[in-house]
Amino acid sequence: MVLEYLVGLLLGVIIGIIATLIGVGGGFLYVPCLIYICGLEPRIAIGTSISIILFTTLSGSIAYLRQKRVFFRSALCLIVPSMIFSVLGAWSTIYISDRLLAIIFSLVLLVIGIKMIVPTLPIVSPITHGPYHDESLRDFSSMNVKNRLYYFHTSAWGAIAGFMSGLTGIGGGIINVPALVIGGMPVHFAIATSTAVILFTSISATFTHMRLGNISLPHVAVFSAGAIVGAQIGARIAPGVNSDKLKSAIGILLLLTSVSVLLQNSGLIP
């Protein structure tokens, strides 16, 4: 048990770094670790993952706020629908079997993995109709950045990200970041804004999963302790990291994990 918690602490640090570097919650890595290394049931792993993400993104958000890279109006436009739909996603786990949850999660991993390897894959499409707002900010390096916020585009993808977060335990950043970038926001600012959004999404999903009894508190404590440290490291080294190579490597890992989960739940391998 002690060894398992030490491994969890180390994994928390590693995943916290990766999640903050690419602007996601890290659930696509937490859930497989919790299932296959820690032995948790899928729905418990999903609830535990989203709880860990709360602490990961809290740490990452503080770092990015210090860098002044969060577009607050865009963040709010994502936060409101994502919080509402994350609760709906979490409640949906009541009606879905562990096996089906595992299959759904593996399919999500498959799509995420392909997207990371092939960034041009149009998973998220722009919606530029309707009202918009031009916003700007000056970051810690005195860089002036402008962004055009399309309200319908941002709100719609925020709802999708929130639902998938509550249902599968991912943070939603894998949807938020492409949605913001396609809307015209520079990628590093999209990552920072997404991290702040995931903090609020994970809060609503965590409380819902807690009411459903889907959380392992010891695993939350151990992984979160590591994730908080990892998120700070990730935010500090982000400017000097080649994110494209990192995403490709993670994408390959996710594809292998996805295939393994699908084969196991299809009964083809033990």
Domain count of the fold of the chain: 1
Quick: pLDDT tens for 185-225: 887 788 889 888 888 888 888 888 999 888 999 999 999 99
Give me the pLDDT at residue 269, please.
43
C-alpha to C-alpha distance for 196 and 57, rounded to whole angstroms: 7
Closest by CA position to 220, among listed 169, 167, 149, 166: 169
- Which residue shows structure tokens 């500090």? 236
Quick: pLDDT tens for 79-124: 999 999 989 988 988 888 877 877 887 787 787 777 767 777 766 6
Domain assignment of residue 33, given as a range: 2-266
* Prediction pTM value: 0.76
Contact 64, 237 (CB under 8 A): no
User: Could you tell me the two tokens for 179?
Assistant: 């949605």
Closest by CA position to 251, among listed 8, 24, 11: 24
